[in-house]
Structure 1
Amino acid sequence: MHGHGYPQPVKQPPPTAWLVLVRVLFVVISILSLGFLTWTMPLRLAIVTRRSLDWGLFVAVLAIDILAMVLLGTEPGEEIHTAGGWIGVALLLGTLVAMIAYYLAAEIRHFHQLRHGGGGYVPPPSQGYGYPQSPTPYSSVATVPQTPPTVPQTPPTPPPQRPAPARIDQVRAELDELSDYLRKQGGQRDGEHEGGR
């Protein structure tokens, strides 16, 4: 039989202070260049996330920056007088603002998912597996259903890093309830067998 093998080691993201410094550096570079180096933000994002969407965004922003430079380069003189020049400025500044917002949101989300487990569905620890919640851990036996409930399929979740103490206590309480229930059922059956003899 073949098992799943060893789990891949999870690469820990860099310290938060370093990530904040890098984000600030890329945003400042883009602002101080008046938008001419806006393409550096999606390039960093594409290298970090390795998503095709981010690579496509990098190519699009680079093309917009080049188009804006061409429009501003064809402007006669030092000041902007034509519609092409104004379009170039609008492209530079609009792309700059949009990319700062997207870059910061996407990179923060990426490293948050790395740090906190990928954002998969994790059921809350206070719910019992397939049983309704009871107000106290040691409630009456009547809360245990006679037939096993059907459990809806959920997407597979990664194994927890460490079990939560509250979950262990809850499982222990449910097992105690089940044990008491089975003892009572066993006692009733033994009484029926002895009385019937």
Structure 2
Amino acid sequence: MQGHGHPQPAQPPPTGALVLVRVLLVGLSVFSIGFLAWTMLLRLAIVTRKSLDWGLLVAALAADVLSIVLLGSEPGDDVHTGGGYLGLTLLLGTLVASIVYYLAAEIRHYQQLRQDGYGGRPPAAYGYPQPGRPPAPYMGTTVPQHTPPPMPHTPVPQPHTPPPMPHTPVPQPPHTPPPGQRPTPARIDQVRAELDELSDYLRKHDEGGR
């Protein structure tokens, strides 16, 4: 179940309208020589609703009243006493300080408002985690999952492999050298002729020796 979520931030007015209001308030304060400088701080306090701005508004009103009293105590139209100079300094100082603070604070306020409305983080719905924040831990009960018991390991029988047969060498036939070749008849005749010549030579040698 979702809630209503966060409220949407207020949308700032157009920039042109803001510039016009600032110009009017600053011009009114300057043309009144600082007697109406408190109007700028009143506008700022209403816009920002800060206690600091309300306190500055009261201080500006007190300074304006005091400066009016000091300037009114002058005997003539010209300022020539210490009280008159103090009142004039206080009036002009309050005017300058109010203008600077008013413009700076209001511009910063509306810039922050635009960033929160357009460039900021979108409002997250109820029950969903917001960006930048860790999710909340889940507080529910966790149901344990059932784990089946392990199955017993049964060895698988391996097929019987017969032992290898012994290698029997194949008998080789005995090596028979090739029969010798008989000499040809021409070779026999040549040997016989050489033997005859040798016999004749030996016979002649014996006869010559005798």
Short-chain TM bin:
0.5 to 0.7
SS of residue in 2 equivalent to 1:6? coil
The one-letter code sitting in structure 2 at the alignment partner of 1:40 is T
> Percent identity of the aligned residues?
63
**Structure 1 match to 2:86:** 87
Shift of 1:5: 2.7
Deviation per CA, 1:85-134, whole angstroms, max 9, x where unpaired? 0000000111111111100000000011111117xxx9xxxxxxxxxxxx
Contact 2:6 2:123 in 1 (8 A): no
Gaps of 5+ in 1: 123-156, 162-197
Specify the alignment match of 1:159 in structure 2: 122
CA RMSD of aligned residues (A): 2.2
Q: Quick check: which has more Rg, 1 or 2?
A: 2
User: What SS does the aligned partner of 1:10 have?
Assistant: coil
User: Which amino acid in structure 1 is aligned with residue 36 of structure 2?
Assistant: L
The residue type equivalent to 2:122 in the other structure is P
Please state how far the C-alpha of 1:24 moved relative to its aligned partner: 0.6
**Map of 1:133 onto structure 2:** none
Return the offset for 1:160: 7.3
| 1:41-190 correspondence to structure 2 within 5 Å | 41-117=40-116, 158-159=121-122
Shift of 1:7: 2.2
Equivalent residue number for residue 13 of structure 2: 14
Partner of 1:26: 25
Judged with a 3 Å threshold, the aligned counterparts in structure 2 of structure 1 residues 7 and 160 are, in CA distance, closer, same or farther, namely closer
Mapped to 2, the partners of 1:105 and 1:81 lie a distance apart of 35
> Any gaps of 5 or more consecutive residues in structure 2?
125-210
CA distance in 2, matches of 1:90, 1:77: 18
Q: CA deviation at 1:81?
A: 1.2
Aligned residues: 124
Structure that is richer in helix per residue: 1
2:109 is paired with a residue whose SS is helix
CA distance in 1, matches of 2:87, 2:123: 52
